[in-house]
């Protein structure tokens, strides 16, 4: 999805470049858009879920932690 989104943004910039003849601004804004996309992708949660930090099913956690509810 990220690659498809990046291609979509690039295609949008190409279409804008065809109709709007302000090339320096659009060419310089394209890398900025790509950087923002990569930062947004990096901030997404990973698909692997981390285990619960304190597992309430372990008896040692219930004894030392008191009531976890």
pLDDT exceeds cutoff 60 at 51: yes
* Domain parsing of the chain, residue ranges: 13-42
pLDDT tens-digit readout, 4-49 = 999 999 999 888 888 887 778 878 888 999 999 999 988 887 766 6
Q: How many CB atoms lie within 10 A of CB 16?
A: 14
Q: What is the pLDDT of residue 66?
A: 56
Q: What pTM did the predictor assign?
A: 0.56
Task: Report which of 38, 11, 39, 7 is spatially closest to residue 26, judged by C-alpha positions.
Answer: 11
């Amino acid at each position: 999805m990220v690659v498809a989104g990046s291609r979509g943004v690039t295609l949008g910039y190409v279409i804008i470049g065809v109709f709007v003849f302000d090339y320096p601004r659009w060419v310089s804004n394209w890398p900025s858009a790509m950087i923002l996309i990569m930062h947004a992708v990096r901030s997404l949660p990973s698909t692997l879920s981390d285990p619960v930090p304190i597992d309430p099913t372990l008896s040692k956690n219930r004894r030392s932690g008191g009531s976890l509810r």
